[in-house]
Amino acid sequence: MRPENAPVIRLEDYRPSPYLIDRVELDVRLHPTQTRVTATLALRPNPNGIGGDPLVLDGDELNLRAVSVDGHALSDRDYEASPQLLTLHRPPQRPFTLIIETEIDPTANTRLMGLYRSSGNYCTQCEADGFRRITYFLDRPDVLAVYTTRIEADRDEAPILLGNGNPVEGGAIEGTNRHYAVWHDPHPKPSYLFALVGGRLGKVGKSFTTMSGRKVDLAVYVEPGKESRADYALDALERSMRWDERVFGREYDLDVFNIVAVSDFNMGAMENKGLNIFNDKYVLASSETATDVDYANIEAIIAHEYFHNWSGNRVTCRDWFQLCLKEGLTVFRDQEFSSDERSRAVHRISEVKVLRSRQFSEDAGPLAHPVRPTQYREINNFYTATVYEKGAEIIRMLKTIIGEADFRRGMDLYFERYDGTAATVENFLGAFAEITGRDLSHFSRWYAQSGTPRVTIKSQYDAQAQTCTLSFKQETPQTPGQTEKEPMVIPVALGLVAEDGKPIDALCNRVDENGVFIFDGREDSLTFTNVTARPVPSLFRGFSAPVKVSFDLPDDDLLSLLRHDSDAFNRWQAAQSVAMRILVRLSKGEQVSETEFDRLALALRDFVESDGERDPAFAALVLSLPSESDIAQEIGSDINPDAIHAARLALRRRISKECAAPLQQLYRSLATPGAYSPNAASAGRRALRNAAVGVIADADPALGEMLAREQFETATNMTDQLASLGVLTTIPGQAREDALATFGSRYRDEPLVLDKWFALQAAIPEPETLERVKKLMHHSAFSLSNPNRVRALVGSFSMLNQSQFNRADGAGYDLLGDVVLRVDELNPQLSARLLTAFSAWRMMENTRQARAKNTLLRVREKPDLSRDASDIVQRTLD
C-alpha cells in the first residue's frame, strides 16, 4: 500500500473493541536476533459488543510460530496470519485462552519501536503502537489487562531483568547460563504502557515512604560507571512523588519504581507502569557534563513521567484522539511542579517562549490541528506542541476560570471516578462541570478548534469621569475548507497601573476577585470607574490565555510596565513587545529612528541596573530578544531570513552598547565561588553572567572574545564552559576554531556533550555552516541511527539556524531532504520529526518557497517512503 493510501482514522468512527483481554501472561526469551515471545491471553467477547465478530489482532513485522485456542492448535481454516494481522475467523463466544508464539529480531529493530537494543541492552517502546511489534494484540488504549511478564536471558548478556509492576520471583535456570525474572503488575493497563528491560546496568536507589506509609524502592539504572550521574534524577523523582501527594493528593501504588536510561530513544522518556524508560539525555547529569538547562529538563521530565502514573496510567485514554487528556494535563502538572520548585515567573516566561515558538507556529501552518484532532493517518505524528503545550494551557485556563479550590475538587472527582478506566475529554470536563455547576460546553471549543485566536484591544480613558473603557474583539484565522471559527472563552487577567507605577484601585464588576475577566463573545467591553490617574492597562497577566494580542500601547507605556508592573510576566512581555515592533520594521527595511532605539536600550539599561542583581534569571530573560523564527512568525509572509537575521543583530548591537557597562559589573559581582549547585538561584546567576558575555561581545567583539576565552579555559562547570564556547562561535576566527577543536577532543568519549558541540556548530549563522554540517556528519561520533545525534546536528541546523537552513540557493533544504531520505529507511518517526522543519515554507519569499517545495516533492517521490514521513510531507504540501 502506498503510504498516502494509508487509511484515515476518524474520531467519529470509534467503536468499543468486540473482544476484551483481562489477563496477559508474557514469556519473553531474550536473544539478540531470535527473541521468542509467548503470549497467553485471557480473552472474552465484549458484553457491549454485538457478538460474533472475527477477532482481529494487530501485528507489525511479526513472525508467527504457533497459535492455539484453549490448548488446541488452530488449523489453517480457523485463522489467517500476516506480519501485520492475525485474524481468528470464528473465535469462541465465551471466555477463552489464546496462546500466540512469535519470533522477533531486536537487533534489526532500528525503528526503536517494540523490543530493540540500545548499546547492547534490551529495551522496549510501545506507545503508541509498538506492542504489536512484540506480539499480536488488541493494541488500542481502551483494552486494559493485568500483565505478568516472565523474562529470560543469558546471565552475562543481561544480568538485570526488569518488568512492569512488582518483582515476583526469579533466579538461575539450572544447567544453563540463563536466568529469569517474573514481574506482576496488578493494575490493569493498556498495551502501550508495557515495558521490559534486560541488560548490564548500574543502579542508584533509595527508599521512599508514601503518605499512607507504604514503602517503595526507587531506582535509577544507567550505563555501569555512570551511577553518580543519576543522583539528580533520583532526587527529582523523590521530590516529584512528594509534590504529587501534597498538591494533588496522589500516592504511588507499587512496591518499586524503576527508571532506566538508554542512549537510543525516539523522544524524551516513556511513562511505562512502574518502569519508566528514558532517553539518557534526561537522566544523566554531572556539573562537568550537563548544563543548568539540562538539570531543569531532567527535573521536569522525571516529574512528567512520574505524574503520568495517575494522569495517563491509572486513568488512561479511550482512544488516541484523547491524547491531550493525558499529555496536556501532565504537562500542566509538570509545569506547576517546576514552578513550585523554582521561580514561578521565570518558569512561566520559559513556558510561553516554547509555546509561542513551537505551538503558535504549528497552529499557523499546514500541520495545524485541534488539541483533540478528529482524524489522523499516523498517530505518532500527533505528539505535538499543540497536544502537549496548548493542551496544558487549556487546563491552566480552566483552573483560572473556576479557581484553585474547585479545580482541585474536580481533579479529585476525575481521578476517583475514572480510576482503572479509559476516559475521554468529555469525562474530564464533566467532572468539573459537576463540581462547579457550570456549563463548560463553550469552553470545550478549545479542544475542537485549531488556530490561535487574536484578541484586539482598544482603551479609552476619560480623565474627567475617571473612567477607563477597554474594548475587546477576538478572531481566529480561518483555515481553508473549515467552517467559520467561533469565539472562544478567554480568561483575561488584568490590572491598571498608573504611569508612576502605583496600581490603580479601579472598580469593574465584571472582573473577579483574582483580577480575571472572562471574554467569551466576539466583542465585549469593560468600563472601570474610580480611575484616579491615567492608566496603563496590563493585560493577559501571567499569559492567562494562549492568544495573540494586538494592543497599540505606546512604547513609553510599555516601558513603564517593564519598570513597574506587579506582574513579572508582563514586565518581560512589555520589553519583548517594544523590541518586536522595532525588529519587524527593521526586517522589512523600514526606518527606525534613533529615539526609538535609544528608548528601548536605555530602558533595558535601567532595568539591568535596578533588577540585575536582585533577580538575575529574570533579567537574563528580559535581555534576550525575540528569536528569528518568532520575528518571522510575526511578519507572517514573504519572509527573507537574512533580513531578519541582520535586523536582530543590529538591534542587539544597539542594546549592548548601552548595557555592556553595567553588565560588565554584574559579570564580576555575580560570580559564585565554591562548589556548583544546580539550584534555580545559582543557575539564575550563571544565566545572567553568560548572557552578559554575549551582550559584551556584541558591543565589543575583542573584549567579548577575551572574556569568553578566559571563561572557556577556567570554567569549572559545563554551563559556563558551553556558554563561553557559544559566545566564541559568534566571532569568526582562529579563537573560535581552536576552542571548538579543544572542546571536541576534550569530550571525545562523552556523546551527550558532543551533542552540544554538534548543535552549536550547526547553529552558526554563516554560509560556511552548510559544509561544516556535512563534514560533521562524517565525524566518528555521529550516527544516523541515533536520534540524539541526528537531532543535535541536523535538527539544530534546520530548526535553530533560520538563515542557513532557509538559504536562498536551497542548499539547506537539500541537505535536510537528503538526511530525511536516509533516516527514513532506519527510523520513520525520526524522519517525520525532521520534516516538520519545512512547515514554515509557505511563509518564505518566492524563491525560497519554490526551492522548499522542490525538496518536499523529491521526498514525496521516494518509492517506499514511510507512512510517518509521507503523512507529514503530504500535509505540508496540501
* Number of neighbours of residue 521 by Cβ within 10 angstroms: 12
* Whether the Cβ atoms of residue 327 and residue 385 lie closer than 8 Å to each other: no
What minimum distance in Å lies between the beta carbon of 273 and ligand B3K? 12
What minimum distance in Å lies between the beta carbon of 270 and ligand B3K? 5
Of 25, 305, 336, 393, which residue is the catalytic one?
305
* Number of neighbours of residue 413 by Cβ within 10 angstroms: 15
Binding pattern for the stretch 709-728 against ligand B3K, x by CB under 6 A and - elsewhere? --------------------
Identify what 381 binds: ligand B3K, Zn ion, none; CB under 5 to 8 Å per kind: none
What is the full DSSP assignment across 223-258? STT-GGGGHHHHHHHHHHHHHHHHHH-----SSEEE
Query: Cα–Cα distance between 288 and 290 in angstroms, integer?
Result: 6
* Number of neighbours of residue 732 by Cβ within 10 angstroms: 13
Q: Between 303 and 696, name the residue whose CB sits nearer to ligand B3K.
A: 303
Taking CB under 6 A as the rule, does residue 304 contact ligand B3K? yes
- Edge to edge, what strands does the sheet with 548-551 contain? 523-528, 467-475, 454-462, 548-551
Q: Nearest 5°: phi and psi at 781? A: -90, -5
Taking CB under 6 A as the rule, does residue 127 contact ligand B3K? yes
What minimum distance in Å lies between the beta carbon of 878 and ligand B3K? 23
Identify what 686 binds: Zn ion, ligand B3K, none; CB under 5 to 8 Å per kind: none
Question: 627-664: buried (b, 16+ CB within 10 Å) or exposed (e) per residue?
Answer: bbbbbbbbbeeebbbbbbbebbbbbbebbbbbbbebbb
Binding pattern for the stretch 310-329 against ligand B3K, x by CB under 6 A and - elsewhere? -----------------x--
Identify what 236 binds: ligand B3K, Zn ion, none; CB under 5 to 8 Å per kind: none
What minimum distance in Å lies between the beta carbon of 270 and Zn ion? 8
Indicate if 336 belongs to the active site.
no
For the chain, give me the number of helices (H) and strands (E)?
29, 32
Q: Between 136 and 383, name the residue whose CB sits nearer to ligand B3K.
A: 383
Q: Between 223 and 244, name the residue whose CB sits nearer to Zn ion.
A: 244
What minimum distance in Å lies between the beta carbon of 320 and Zn ion? 13
- Angle at 437 (CA atoms; ends 436, 441), nearest 5 degrees: 100
* Whether the Cβ atoms of residue 489 and residue 445 lie closer than 8 Å to each other: yes
Among 121-129, 327-335, 412-420, 864-872, which window interacts with Zn ion (CB under 5 A)? 327-335
Taking CB under 6 A as the rule, does residue 380 contact ligand B3K? yes
- Angle at 619 (CA atoms; ends 714, 661), nearest 5 degrees: 65
Among 103-111, 303-311, 583-591, 850-858, which window interacts with ligand B3K (CB under 6 A)? 303-311
Q: Between 327 and 351, name the residue whose CB sits nearer to Zn ion.
A: 327
For residue 345, how far is the Cα from the chain centroid?
Answer: 20
Query: Cα–Cα distance between 437 and 447 in angstroms, integer?
Result: 20
Taking CB under 6 A as the rule, does residue 305 contact ligand B3K? yes
- Edge to edge, what strands does the sheet with 256-262 contain? 202-209, 215-222, 256-262, 275-279, 269-270
Q: Between 37 and 379, name the residue whose CB sits nearer to ligand B3K.
A: 379
Strands (E), 70-156: 72-73, 79-81, 85-88, 96-104, 114-118, 121-125, 145-154
- Edge to edge, what strands does the sheet with 55-58 contain? 55-58, 85-88, 79-81
Identify what 270 binds: Zn ion, ligand B3K, none; CB under 5 to 8 Å per kind: ligand B3K
C-alpha cell at 211: 503518605
Q: Strand 166-172 vs strand 114-118: parallel, antiparallel, or unpaired?
A: unpaired
Residue whose grid cell is 551527550: 752
Residue whose grid cell is 472563552: 489
Identify what 291 binds: ligand B3K, Zn ion, none; CB under 5 to 8 Å per kind: none
Query: Cα–Cα distance between 260 and 553 in angstroms, integer?
Result: 51
Helix, strand and coil percent figures for the chain, each rounded to 5: 45, 20, 35
What minimum distance in Å lies between the beta carbon of 206 and ligand B3K? 23
Q: Between 334 and 341, name the residue whose CB sits nearer to ligand B3K.
A: 334
Q: Between 316 and 802, name the residue whose CB sits nearer to Zn ion.
A: 316
Number of residues that bind ligand B3K (CB under 6 A): 12
Among 263-271, 278-286, 426-434, 743-751, which window interacts with ligand B3K (CB under 6 A)? 263-271
Binds ligand B3K by CB under 6 A, chosen from 21, 236, 267, 345: 267
Q: Nearest 5°: phi and psi at 154? A: -65, 135
Taking CB under 6 A as the rule, does residue 618 contact ligand B3K? no
Binds ligand B3K by CB under 6 A, chosen from 238, 244, 271, 393: 271
Number of residues that bind Zn ion (CB under 5 A): 2
What minimum distance in Å lies between the beta carbon of 330 and Zn ion? 5
C-alpha cell at 523: 466583542
Query: Cα–Cα distance between 592 and 582 in angstroms, integer?
Result: 7
Q: Between 121 and 276, name the residue whose CB sits nearer to ligand B3K.
A: 276
What minimum distance in Å lies between the beta carbon of 277 and Zn ion? 13
Touching ligand B3K, residues 436-465 (CB under 6 A)? none
What minimum distance in Å lies between the beta carbon of 318 and ligand B3K? 16
Taking CB under 6 A as the rule, does residue 524 contact ligand B3K? no
507: helix, strand or coil: strand
What minimum distance in Å lies between the beta carbon of 141 and ligand B3K? 11
Identify what 349 binds: Zn ion, ligand B3K, none; CB under 5 to 8 Å per kind: none
Among 100-108, 266-274, 365-373, 728-736, which window interacts with ligand B3K (CB under 6 A)? 266-274
Among 72-80, 139-147, 321-329, 682-690, which window interacts with Zn ion (CB under 5 A)? 321-329
Q: Between 392 and 506, name the residue whose CB sits nearer to Zn ion.
A: 392
Residues with active-site annotation: 305
Binding site for Zn ion (CB under 5 A): 327, 330
Binding site for ligand B3K (CB under 6 A): 127-128, 267, 269-271, 304-305, 308, 327, 380, 383
